[in-house]
Amino acid sequence: MPLYSFINIETGEEHEALMKFSERDQYLLDNPHLTPKVTACGFVSGIGVKPDDGFRDLLRQMKKGSGRGNTINTF
C-alpha cells in the first residue's frame, strides 16, 4: 500500500497515511481540511546487496531441478 502525504490547510501541519489508492479520494472527501502534498516516488535500484547464503542455496536447488535452458541466476 502506498504512503500518502497530506498538509492540514488550517494549521500547516503535515502527516502521512498508509492506505489503498482507492481509499484516498474518500479520505480527502471526509477530511476537507487536508490537501495532498505532491512528492516524488522513492525507487531503490542497484544498491549492490547480494542475497545471503541460504537464499543462494535455494536458488541453486531451483536451478538444478528446473531442467535445461533455465535462466536462473545464482549470483
Categorize the per-residue pLDDT at 10 as very low, low, confident or very high, splitting at 50, 70 and 90.
very high
pLDDT at 73 over 80: no
Q: Which residue has the higher pLDDT, 48 or 5?
A: 5
Q: H/E element holding 6?
A: strand 3-8
Q: Please state, in angstroms and rounded to a whole number, the distance separating the CA atoms of residues 22 and 38.
A: 18
Asked if residue 28 belongs to a domain, the reply is yes
Question: What pTM was computed for the model?
Answer: 0.52
The domain total for the chain is: 1
Q: Is residue 14 part of a domain?
A: yes
Look up the domain containing 26 and give its range: 1-40
Over the range 28-65, which residues count as b (16 or more CB within 10 Å of their CB) and which as e?
A: eeeeeebeeeeeeeeeeeeeeeeeeeeeeeeeeeeeee
Tens-digit pLDDT profile for residues 12-48: 999 999 999 899 999 999 999 999 998 776 665 666 6
Q: Which residues contact 68 (CB under 8 A, 6 or more apart)?
A: none
19 belongs to a structural domain: yes
Q: What is the pLDDT of residue 45?
A: 63
Q: Is residue 34 part of a domain?
A: yes
